[in-house]
Amino acid sequence: MKFKAPLVTLGAGLVVAGVLYTLNVDLSNDVEKNKAAANQAATTAAPAPAASTQPAADPPPSSAPASGTPAGDGSGNAAQQGTVTYAGAVDGGAASLAIVVNNGKAIAYVCDGKKVEAWLNGTMANGQVDLTGAKGSLKGTYGGGQVKGTVTAATKSWGFTVKVAAPPSGLYRSAASLRNKLDASWVVLPDGRQVGVQTRNGETSEAPPFDVNSRTATVDGTKVPIEAGNPNASSGY
């Protein structure tokens, strides 16, 4: 009986230790579970990344016509929109030609720079050109920035293809009120060259050059006004 007390005490100690161990394990498990639950809650509650506030890129610009080409040219109805000038040499280079069209009305001048010349007027619409005059005619088609056809002056006839030309290219004539001093007409080509014919004292010859900036020509010391061809003028030119 003397040895029972220590044994009981030892047994009681082991029981207490076991209980404490169990409590520590349970407590540790509870702490880990609480941490996991807290982490999951934080993840669920975290706000989604803010949407980008950077503006969207601008859409690509729409295509536009090439600089120098009249709007609508090539559609078969270019002559119906504003004023368009075409200028160039006939096939083979024997003569020069300029055509000016405005809202379907057109005029043209062709000359060889010596004696042969013709002023023409008529219509230019729906892809077709039909011009006539006292000394010749012009028939052709237009589109894609050019006019193509056949032109006749006196007994001469030429095929041609002339393209849209920027000022001062075009056709010109001395002012009607002063044609007693100078009756001359010119084609100004895209490269600046002037090809013209004049009539003075009943004689026809190469026209002298004129100043395209001031639009004047000097005749016997007097400046004579030079006018650009206008399809809408009462005379046509």
pLDDT of residue 59: 32
- For residue 178, CA distances in Å to 46, 183, 184, 215, 229 come to 92, 8, 10, 14, 16
Token pair of 116 as six digits:
């042969």
Of the two residues 57 and 197, the one the predictor is more confident about is 197
What is the average pLDDT across 211-230? 91
How much is the pLDDT for 211? 96
Which residue would you say has higher pLDDT here, 18 or 162? 162
- Whether the predicted pLDDT of 21 surpasses 80: no
Query: Which of 32-36, 115-119, 161-165, 224-228 shows the lowest per-residue confidence on average (mean pLDDT)?
Result: 32-36
Least confident span in 62-71, 138-147, 208-217: 62-71
Q: What is the pLDDT of residues 86-110, one digit of tens each?
A: 999 999 999 999 999 999 999 999 9
Q: What is the pLDDT of residue 139?
A: 98
- Average pLDDT of the residues in 159-177: 95
CA gap 116, 111 in Å, rounded? 5
Q: What is the mean pLDDT of residues 110-117?
A: 96
| pLDDT, position 216 | 95
List, as one string, the DSSP characters of the chain.
Answer: -TTHHHHHHHHHHHHHHHHHHHHHHHHHHHHHHHHHHHHHHHHHHSPPPPPP-SPPPPPPPPP-PPTTSPTTTTTT-GGGSSEEEEEEEBTTSSSEEEEEEETTEEEEEEE-SSS-EEEEEEEEETTEEEEEETTEEEEEEEETTEEEEEEEETTEEEEEEEEE--TT-EEEEE-GGGTTT-EEEEEE-TTS-EEEEEEETTEEEEPPP-BTTTTEEEETTEEEEEEE--TTSTT--
pLDDT at 182: 84
Instruction: Tell me: pLDDT of 72 over 70.
Output: no
For residues 120-132, average pLDDT:
96
Predicted pLDDT at 235 = 60
Higher pLDDT, residue 233 or 162? 162
